[in-house]
Structure 1
């Protein structure tokens, strides 16, 4: 599940696990990892929520940013989790396009968001004014551009912590995602049943 042992039980750990069960029906492997410091998990989650709200991101747009970030980073965990979600929130074709980096057929706003997330993850020093202008061109003001870029950077950091400490994708994520998504996500750590 992860390279770390199960954290000691506490009310905060139990609350984190209960939230998973309420939302997903099981305790996620990444929650077992982040349960080593629930306060950090809560702060991190609050910052993600705040930046998404400031950016004015819809659920689909968040899914596009997370899938693009996960695919560029080589994070199978978030790619499976959010690839399945994006398939439900938008459609399977959108999820597959973002995961594969084949963005041409996406609506312009989603295409620009996915391209920006990939650029931020793969080579942030190579971005330029034209990239930011593209974000402005699909309706984001400068504060929103800052917020959505911070959102991508935070998702990248989240993936890095999970990957470095061995969080493997939960079998439920594989089982809940469309087969085409699971066939596409061939990078990162494999699912352990």
Structure 2
């Protein structure tokens, strides 16, 4: 990694809050947090975007979009971090998360599975998407606002994941994800 993150002694404001949250929750500051602390204003704007998205689609759909995008991108950082968030929120259990790592999305509800497919397609080849892709979301009950927010959730994950990959940010062990599940999530990714 060519960039040098700020030390815990250097950070102030939002960056200090980022470091404090990681330290309080996990006892250390994740490498991805340290890199994002280089531009805390951008990180804060990203968090605001996520809050605006989750308000209409809820945490389960948000995590389905996020995990679908992260799997398509091949982002170990985001698969692990959002795998843990899905576990903590009760969106998936450990077996469901491990199955997801092997492209078995049955741990998600039918509508969440449609979201995973949509997010993967957006992340792999957004230019080829058509109204049929959005219609698949409408067919499982999503509103126009929710379709837009699912799209934003997947696109936001592309922004964050691709930045971490481009900066070659080291992948940390994520407490709360079993070693077996972590290995499954990261088996095919960089």
> Above 0.5 in TM-score?
yes
On the 8 A contact 1:71/1:100 being kept in 2, the answer is: no
CA shift, 1:105, in A, is 6.5
2:151 and 2:182 map into 1 onto residues whose CA distance is 27
1:15 paired to 2:17: yes
1:123 and 1:73 map into 2 onto residues whose CA distance is 11
Corresponding residue of 2:86: 86
Change (3 A) 1:25 1:60: farther
- Between stretches 132-141 and 32-41, larger displacement belongs to 132-141
Describe how 1:11-160 pairs up with structure 2 within 5 A.
11-12=12-13, 13-54=15-56, 56-57=57-58, 59-88=59-88, 89=90, 90-103=92-105, 106-160=108-162
On the 8 A contact 2:23/2:29 being kept in 1, the answer is: yes
CA shift, 1:140, in A, is 1.1
Task: Note the residue ranges of structure 1 that are not aligned, 5 or more in a row.
Answer: none
Corresponding residue of 1:161: 163
* Secondary structure, counterpart of 2:54 in structure 1: helix
1:62 and 1:144 map into 2 onto residues whose CA distance is 10
Q: TM-score, normalised by structure 1?
A: 0.85
On the 8 A contact 1:65/1:113 being kept in 2, the answer is: yes
CA shift, 1:104, in A, is 5.4
Change (3 A) 1:99 1:62: farther
Change (3 A) 1:35 1:102: same
Task: Note the residue ranges of structure 2 that are not aligned, 5 or more in a row.
Answer: none
2:100 and 2:65 map into 1 onto residues whose CA distance is 9
1:155 and 1:83 map into 2 onto residues whose CA distance is 13
CA shift, 1:11, in A, is 1.5
Corresponding residue of 2:183: 183
Change (3 A) 1:148 1:119: same
On the 8 A contact 1:83/1:99 being kept in 2, the answer is: no
Q: TM-score, normalised by structure 2?
A: 0.86
1:65 and 1:180 map into 2 onto residues whose CA distance is 23
2:137 and 2:77 map into 1 onto residues whose CA distance is 27
1:187 and 1:107 map into 2 onto residues whose CA distance is 24
Corresponding residue of 1:3: 2
